[in-house]
Structure 1
Amino acid sequence: MSFRSSSSSTRVFQAIALGVILLATYLIPKVVRWRNRMAKLNAIPTVGNSGFFSSYISARRFKDHAPEIIQEGYRKASLFYPGQAFKVPLPDRWHVIVSGEEMVNDLKKASDFDVSFDDATSETMQTEYTLGKDAKNPYTIPVVRSSLTRALPSQFHDLQDEIEASFNDLIPAKETEWMKVSMLSTVMKLVSRTSNRFFVGLPLCRDPDYVDLNINFTIDAFNGATTLRHYPGFLKPLVRQFLTNVPECMARAQKHLAPIIEERLAKEKTYGTLDWPDKPNDLITWLLDEAHVQGNGKRPEDIVTKTVHYVILVNFAAIHTTSITFTNTIYYLAANPEIADPLREEINSTLQELGWTKGAMGKMIKLDSFLKETQRLTGVSGLSMDRMVLRDFTFSNGTVVPAGTIVGTALYGLHHDEAHYDDPETFRPFRFSAVREHDGENLKHQMVAIDPSFGLFGGGRHMCPGRFFAVNEIKALIAHVLLTYDVKFEDDKGVPPPVWNGAAYSPNRSAEVMFRKRAEA
């Protein structure tokens, strides 16, 4: 009896010992890696609290006061912090922010094997849960960068036609009275229609359910990402079921887009060629052609489903940023009515010479300056060029950012830097057009140009590929507003306060703008 008891105790002891060894084998390396990572992060100065518990207080403050915190870090980095880098606590991680030309250029030139744009986007947008598993795809970037941009001159008339039609439907103002318009919600409908006239054409671009689908998918994805970042990985699939509607949205999109895609694939078979008669020159065509090229003449079996998803993803990117940018511009126009006449004079003279064309948009340098200046002061985020560090990355000044950290640039600080902008807090609508009048400066200060002091579109190889389409679309929208309407705020209010959610910026969501049809229109 005692022998069996001793044997049993031995086995229990051996099992416990084995468990301890296995646990130690698993935990000790993780603890060592965590300590090494934290030692590298601790070497980077913190704006706010850096303690285990106190950092959550600073993370909560960053949610509502990100611009002030980014600006504080940017100024301290240039004055006190060696290396010009700092970090801020977020609820789920540390975010390292770099400034100064040297460090920003290091990040622009860094290899995708060291720092990843895609992985940073996946983390911040929680793409697997908010945008679906096809969010990472090989087709959309080359299509937007090449096919979409090349098609803009030849199809600009269609874009302008839809702008006129959508404004007539959504803002039917009269000459005799002012019409009050809830701006952001209306702008999203305008942008969805005009963008999709280019993406999928008539009549789908005007279909109310299709417009609603694209708008709500955009809103749902951003709201879902914000919430999902607060949950651990094992809970996210469950949380997704209650917070996002990706499957439902894709089903709706399938209903609208699949028959169009299937019809085009059928015509390819009928004619035995990709270049069949009267083939539309739109996003669906470009995506199908790109899939054919990348597949060496053979598309995936689920090409219809994938193409549907890709069209919705391009809409997601286009509607969000363009709506924010256009809404901000209208707010500044309504708050500064004195700039309307100089802009109208430029627009009218250019249109008399070139008509409603992409070339005309390029010659409207005052309009370009007005748009660029509003985005300098607002933008879509306080940070830019976010990258996920895949392996410890050492900047040229010796600053080390450990693997698993998201690093970005201080966009808000850059755009409010006195070293780059005279009186940076003041709105000067023709700040950039005045500079472009000097010899050799005409192209350098365009909104879409590569400019180290203007980071709205990011930088390096991942600079926004859709910026040419977006800027031309917004110029055409603003030009139409200026020639067709008078706009103002009721009681001559200034620009309404924006909404900040961490570094993410949104124009005031409830502000209304007064529109009145101009007699000259």
Structure 2
Amino acid sequence: MLETTNLYYALASITFIAFLIDKWRDYTTPNLSSIPAVGSTGRLSSFIGAIRFATKGPEVLSEGVAKFKGELFRVPSITKWVVVVTDPKKIDDIRNARDQDLSMTEAVNESIQTRWTLGAEMVSEENAYHVQVVRSPLTRSLAGRYVDIYDEVVSSFNEYVSPKGDEWMSIPVLDTLMNVVCRTSNRLFVGLPVCRDPDYIEINTRFTIDVFLTGTMINLFPKILHPIVGPLLSPMSRYYKRAEKHLGPIIEQRMREDEEQGVDRPDRPNDLVSWLLDGAPDSERNVRMLIMRILVINFAAIHTTSNSFTQALFHLAVSPEYVQPMREEIESIIAEEGWTKAAIQKMRKVDSFVRESMRYTGVGALAMDRKVIKPDGFTFSDGTKLPRGTTLSVAVYNIHHDEEKYSSPEEFHGFRFSDIRQEEGEGIKHQLVNTNVEFLPFGHGRHACPGRFFASNEIKTMLAHVLMNYDIKMEGDGGLPPSRWFASASMPDGKARVMFRKRQT
């Protein structure tokens, strides 16, 4: 017993020493001494700053923005220094940079430890063919498949939000909407009946949470131990086994039909399985790799959309003055067009309300993460240089709340962008899906979220459906639920509940 205890102590000591060595390397390589920091830069004292950033991320970033006024600064995360960008010219430099100079993929891989959490096959940017699938055939199919998207929204709300008569029904918003989004997304991805299977829904809603938690845990270990702890902690194998029961037969049948009947047959399903089969290299045309790609696409699709729609619904519940104007807009357009993608596209007030919610509340404090991988470093257009290995991000929350960019930025103005779009020449660029250096929830440039067109249609359809069929209000005191923060990551209050009743007026 004593020998076992001593062994545990020895292993713990070795790990702790390796941890300190690893952190010392992280904070001295690359050399960022020329970039001013928020808080102390000492090898040990910076850990205190990292803990503060983890618990008060927006506050730390706001300090840096106020103090350094548009210049680069750095903040300490648990694993590394992060260089923060706010200057529009530098944001454009990031947008225009070559992937071999600034890598989004490497930044994401490091952040969530992609090699272990999602699989080694997902690490390479050259192998990310699923991104092109989302960008092209999925987006092109939205109009033709809109009837299915709308049908699943209606079916989901009928199942999860079904108040009787004029009674109010209390709904745990985030969990409920996550199920709605999962079902709606997978109606397009894999179709009926799988998209409604409770086990399949749980697989996809839990997978993202486990990926982020696992990535955080792996990052707490020294890098030299990642090849050991990564496979032990990885959630992919157990989620793959569960998903295989649902998706394996579908993929096998689809591959068999493609081989026997060809891919040009008129009754071939127009869904994610077909699109992936069309885009996959020969080495990935197998059940395992296709299931992993479907899990990864769900990973990207479900939680960001659920979080964004939850925040929009919170704003609607505390701002009843927006209900009637949006109802009138929806009713007039639906009367002419019916429920179609084109109809949703014309709902400027609905579009503005969602865009303003994303500006006001956001999906996090930092975005456009990049890692400098160019051997001799990356130089901004003003001559500022960052060494290889630097991680940098854009302070989107502060940009979205900058009074030089938005009038009364601390006030929620649901029709802010639809009002702007009435001005000459402004009709298109302030749509929800459009990005610029002042609106960055989806990123900006060629690496902007490829699924934002699908997410936009999904969120606006759900919001329009709620407005047409329900009255809502916040449970309790009726105030806007505050977001929950961990470092720069933001989540809606998972415990907040909204009251629904059948529309009375």
TM-score of the two chains, using structure 1 as the length reference: 0.88
Matched, 1:130 2:147: no
Query: Matched residue of 1:96: which SS?
Result: strand
Deviation at 1:223, TM superposition (A): 1.4
Matched, 1:495 2:480: yes
Structure 1 CA distance, aligned partners of 2:133 and 2:307?
A: 23
Residues 107-118 of structure 1 aligned to structure 2 (within 5 Å): 107-118=94-105
What amino acid sits opposite 2:56 in the alignment? H
Query: Root-mean-square deviation (CA), in Å?
Result: 2.0
Matched, 1:161 2:148: no
Matched, 1:444 2:433: no
Aligned to 1:199: 189
Of 324-333 and 393-402, deviating more is 393-402
Aligned to 1:9: none
Residues 70-89 of structure 1 aligned to structure 2 (within 5 Å): 70-78=61-69, 84-89=71-76
Structure 2 CA distance, aligned partners of 1:35 and 1:141?
A: 31
- Between the two proteins, the alignment pairs up a number of residues equal to 479
Gap runs ≥5 in structure 2:
1-20
Residue of 376, 389, 403 corresponding to 1:418: 403
Residue of 178, 185, 207 corresponding to 1:217: 207
What amino acid sits opposite 2:255 in the alignment? L
Aligned to 2:326: 343
Q: Is the 8 A contact 1:49 1:58 kept in 2?
A: yes
Residue of 316, 327, 349 corresponding to 1:333: 316
Q: Is the 8 A contact 1:70 1:412 kept in 2?
A: no
Taking a change above 3 Å as real, the CA distance of residues 171 and 61 of structure 1, as seen in their structure-2 partners, is same
Taking a change above 3 Å as real, the CA distance of residues 187 and 243 of structure 1, as seen in their structure-2 partners, is farther
Aligned to 1:401: 386
Matched, 1:352 2:335: yes
Deviation at 1:241, TM superposition (A): 5.8
Deviation at 1:491, TM superposition (A): 3.3
Taking a change above 3 Å as real, the CA distance of residues 94 and 276 of structure 1, as seen in their structure-2 partners, is same
Taking a change above 3 Å as real, the CA distance of residues 125 and 426 of structure 1, as seen in their structure-2 partners, is same
What amino acid sits opposite 2:163 in the alignment? A
Taking a change above 3 Å as real, the CA distance of residues 220 and 364 of structure 1, as seen in their structure-2 partners, is same
Matched, 1:245 2:253: no
CA deviation profile, 1:451-472 (whole Å, cap 9, x unmatched): 2210111112211111011011
Query: Matched residue of 1:42: which SS?
Result: coil
Matched, 1:119 2:106: yes
Taking a change above 3 Å as real, the CA distance of residues 490 and 450 of structure 1, as seen in their structure-2 partners, is closer
Residue of 127, 131, 154 corresponding to 1:141: 131
**Identity score, percent:** 47
CA deviation profile, 1:170-203 (whole Å, cap 9, x unmatched): 1111232111111111111010000101111111
CA deviation profile, 1:408-457 (whole Å, cap 9, x unmatched): 11111110111100111111111111111111111011111132210111
CA deviation profile, 1:31-76 (whole Å, cap 9, x unmatched): 9x97996584111010122111111111111112111222222232
Query: Matched residue of 1:491: which SS?
Result: coil
Q: Is the 8 A contact 2:435 2:443 kept in 1?
A: no
Structure 2 CA distance, aligned partners of 1:461 and 1:426?
A: 31
Query: Matched residue of 2:166: which SS?
Result: coil
Aligned to 1:10: none
What amino acid sits opposite 1:249 in the alignment? Y
Matched, 1:59 2:50: yes
Aligned to 1:470: 455
Matched, 1:307 2:326: no
CA deviation profile, 1:357-376 (whole Å, cap 9, x unmatched): 11111111111111011111
Residues 4-83 of structure 1 aligned to structure 2 (within 5 Å): 40-78=31-69
Deviation at 1:204, TM superposition (A): 0.7
Structure 2 CA distance, aligned partners of 1:241 and 1:415?
A: 39
Q: Is the 8 A contact 1:374 1:427 kept in 2?
A: yes
Q: Is the 8 A contact 1:114 1:389 kept in 2?
A: yes
Greater Rg, structure 1 or structure 2?
Answer: 1
Deviation at 1:109, TM superposition (A): 0.9
Deviation at 1:242, TM superposition (A): 5.9
Q: Is the 8 A contact 1:267 1:276 kept in 2?
A: no
Residues 477-488 of structure 1 aligned to structure 2 (within 5 Å): 477-488=462-473
Gap runs ≥5 in structure 1:
1-29, 292-297
Structure 1 CA distance, aligned partners of 2:25 and 2:214?
A: 29
Aligned to 1:275: 264
Matched, 1:460 2:445: yes
Q: Is the 8 A contact 1:180 1:513 kept in 2?
A: yes
Query: Matched residue of 1:360: which SS?
Result: helix
Query: Matched residue of 1:41: which SS?
Result: coil
Matched, 1:260 2:247: no
Q: Is the 8 A contact 2:100 2:373 kept in 1?
A: yes
Q: Is the 8 A contact 1:95 1:405 kept in 2?
A: yes
What amino acid sits opposite 2:325 in the alignment? P
